[in-house]
Amino acid sequence: MKLLMTTILALSMVIPSYAQLTINGVTLPSTVKVGDATANLNGGGIRKKLFFKLYVGGLYLSEKSTDASAIINADKPMAVKLQITSSMISSENMSEAITEGFEASTGGNTAPLKAKIDEFVNTFKKDEIVEGNVFDIVYVPGKGVESYKNGKLQGTIEGMDFKKALFGIWLGSKPADEDLKKAMLGQ
């Protein structure tokens, strides 16, 4: 019996844990579908500005990682899930924040991606954003970034260049929120 318990304990330390996570009243599921693949929750946290808790964000990967650069550059299935937790978020200010995020992520060099960025930002303007809305930003290798609002596909944008800039918003050297970046990386 002692050997069995020791074996179970040892295995639990080796096998990665992909449990769901509840943050600020939002439960991030342990897995999400990314095309035909499944991505596991890598980590999640709260996007804060001043003292407002704006949304809960979760990062989903095919394999756990704490290497932000490797994640940004990986051509593997992955997703970011955002659930709006504040009535302070509107379609207009979310669009502005995403645009600013691309500026920071690309070091101000958004010109090569302008059309793709505009197309992506417009997905946040289709319907007014309200507290409780859920956005799934899903990268499917060979297909591109699919953007969903409350489970409904809003659009697909091709290109690894766009995917890198987009995931750089949360994971880049100048992320939207440093604490959220660390939390998404499971740190």
| Residue range 152-179, pLDDT digits in tens | 999 999 999 999 999 999 999 999 999 9
- 119, 147 contact by CB (below 8 A): no
Measured on CA atoms in the order 121, 93, 83, 111, is the torsion positive or negative? positive
Q: Tell me: the pLDDT tens digits for 12-63?
A: 433 444 578 888 888 899 999 999 999 999 999 999 887 788 899 999 999 9
pLDDT of residue 59: 97
Q: What is the mean pLDDT of the chain?
A: 88
Residue 38 tokens, joined: 């499944």
Q: What is the mean pLDDT of residues 99-115?
A: 95
Q: Using the predicted structure, report yes or no on whether residue 67 has a pLDDT greater than 90.
A: yes
pLDDT of residue 18: 54
pLDDT of residue 4: 39
- What is the rounded CA–CA span in Å between residue 71 and residue 62? 10
- What is the rounded CA–CA span in Å between residue 104 and residue 31? 29
Q: CA triplet 104, 110, 116: central angle to 5 degrees?
A: 115
- Provide, rounded to the nearest whole percent, the portion of the chain with pLDDT above 90: 73
Q: What is the mean pLDDT of residues 56-74?
A: 96
Beta strands (DSSP E) in 73-116 are 78-84
What are the domain boundaries of the chain? 18-184
Residue range 18-184 forms a domain whose CATH class is alpha beta
